[in-house]
Structure 1
């Protein structure tokens, strides 16, 4: 059980104890924001509140409460008061109700002898409905994956990457020959996997990567796919996420890219560029780098130039002669992603 309790007008968010049958306490997530910090003592407060014909062993009730209090401490690094309130019977189980800091309720399910903490019961019908829904979703995804790529006169090719994801860099390097070969026959665009908004954005490998993501997109929009590929290949092989704040300029100068222009666009349009990348990432539901999408269909397979070319060429209504050219089948890493 992993239930999050969000109390309006409060600053404490408590997530519920995850309990595994026979395994005791599995996990507890409890984030305290400006929560009151109690002293180092771990006093357990017991309040009479029994209902029903069954009377629990209060020593065991307090022991379980103390255990819960320790779990909260391990998760937050702070001491919080756990207080027993009452119990109820549910079929063959006992439901112990506690509060954390007097306000945030927590239910613990146990056997009647209070020796075993168990998972919160789920009705078989409810569980079956959840399984059926998951199966239907999986089967729909498998069916979609087996369908051929939609065809068009000029396939739209989107390569979702992060500027310093090693797997994405390998995909970019493999795409160099593909973009060079197919050129204007395809509509190619790199998309940088960003999250956030309102002037606050994140890229998986930190601020330097975020900055370089935006710079590379500026270069693509100004100079086109071929120049972008040449530049990115240079950065991938000669810069690191630690030195890119200076290294990017050296690479730009080697490829006749106007550094001042990139800096001006970066200063003026950073948020607009980042917003567009976030929107496209969300539109396609992309989470991992690299992700290659052609005419709306996601690619799965080898990450060689030839494999990428074959996939993209399958999206032409009428394949151009260039598709008969054989490219390299060598690939750096066949599996793995960032995200």
Structure 2
């Protein structure tokens, strides 16, 4: 039986998961809102002019509960604040207070407010921070990226990492690992196991599987496309499940961390060694580093870890930020979100 006392999981607001369709909806909302025309479709209601704070708050909560939260859960309204040109709506979901934002006519919902005057400064500071990190050097760098398989930001990191895995195949040891607790339900338990076993026993199929999965989320389709030996995979998943009591702990809520997060102990030794707390956590040559989530940024960070960088490090990869969550490879606006 796993001892869960004494460990507290902190939830960072940017990483809150409002449900399976959260990041698909968020990406659509953000994209269309930037050109000025995303509308909440409330049956039989038309908007003309400014609405009261109470009306907008109610419509936002209704929209979130009908579209974004996990089945069987709901968000509630805490407060609405007039910010001048828009409303700040504080919602409560699963014990966390989460701010969202809406225009005063109730037509446009923003899940994050970005101060545009600070954007360039923040981007410059982040880039400089990555460039000034001291990364230990080795002849063959060892790169470990810890994720939760359904964490939007973990998926974002994988999207940025995959081109580098392909580019530096045979030059650097780049592997994906799994955080020792679950935040995204039963599907994450078994997708973690699936990815773990493919990488462990069918490494030559892992890249193709992951490239498919981060875009479609359809593991059956991806197993077929990557030509994974499903019988061999099932044996590995069953053996790993039994060895580490994965399903047993998932079904026994008394073992859950903070009473909310099922343990996933398959790689607990590595989690403890590196002090992993959330998804993604990036370890290069046994040192935790922060990396902007574009293929080129990952390539530069890993190439800094070579004693003598190979010729492949001279190749320029995409500088576009990967998109969070399952979906298109690019289109992200931030490299700072995490789950956990």
Structure 2 length-normalised TM: 0.50
Matching residue of 2:155: 169
Matching residue of 1:296: 286
How far apart in 1 are the matches of 2:173 and 2:202?
Answer: 14
**Consecutive unaligned residues in structure 2, runs of 5 or more:** 1-130, 245-263, 322-331
Runs of 4+ in 1 over 2 A off after TM superposition: 271-276
Matching residue of 1:278: 268
146 and 327 in structure 1: CA distance in 2 versus 1, 3 angstrom threshold: closer
Q: CA deviation at 1:318?
A: 0.7
Q: Secondary structure at the match of 2:194?
A: helix
Query: Is it true that 1:205 corresponds to 2:190 in the alignment?
Result: no
Q: Secondary structure at the match of 1:183?
A: coil
Cα root mean square deviation, aligned: 2.0
Q: Secondary structure at the match of 1:150?
A: coil
Matching residue of 1:188: 174
Q: Secondary structure at the match of 2:279?
A: coil
What are the within-5 Å matches in structure 2 for residues 89-128 of structure 1? none
Matching residue of 2:215: 237
How far apart in 1 are the matches of 2:242 and 2:313?
Answer: 38
**Consecutive unaligned residues in structure 1, runs of 5 or more:** 1-144, 196-202, 240-246
Matching residue of 1:218: 197
Q: CA deviation at 1:158?
A: 0.1
State which structure, 1 or 2, has the greater radius of gyration over its C-alpha atoms.
Answer: 1
Q: CA deviation at 1:293?
A: 0.9
How far apart in 1 are the matches of 2:292 and 2:161?
Answer: 12
Count of paired positions? 181
Q: Deviation per CA, 1:215-266, whole angstroms, max 9, x where unpaired? A: 1010001222x53122122112212xxxxxxx42221011100112111211
Matching residue of 1:228: 206
1:325 corresponds, among 309, 315, 324, to: 315
CA contact (8 A) 1:176 1:230 kept: no
Q: Secondary structure at the match of 1:251?
A: helix
How far apart in 1 are the matches of 2:235 and 2:164?
Answer: 31
Q: Which 10-residue stretch deviates more, 149-158 or 326-335?
A: 326-335
What are the within-5 Å matches in structure 2 for residues 51-90 of structure 1? none
The structure with higher relative contact order (CA 8 Å, sep 6+) is 2
Q: CA deviation at 1:271?
A: 4.2
Q: CA deviation at 1:147?
A: 5.8
CA contact (8 A) 1:172 1:229 kept: no
How far apart in 2 are the matches of 1:174 and 1:147?
Answer: 19
CA contact (8 A) 1:249 1:259 kept: no
Structure 1 length-normalised TM: 0.50
How far apart in 1 are the matches of 2:163 and 2:172?
Answer: 13
CA contact (8 A) 1:155 1:312 kept: yes
How far apart in 1 are the matches of 2:205 and 2:172?
Answer: 16
Structure number with the higher strand fraction is 1
272 and 311 in structure 1: CA distance in 2 versus 1, 3 angstrom threshold: farther
Q: Secondary structure at the match of 2:145?
A: strand
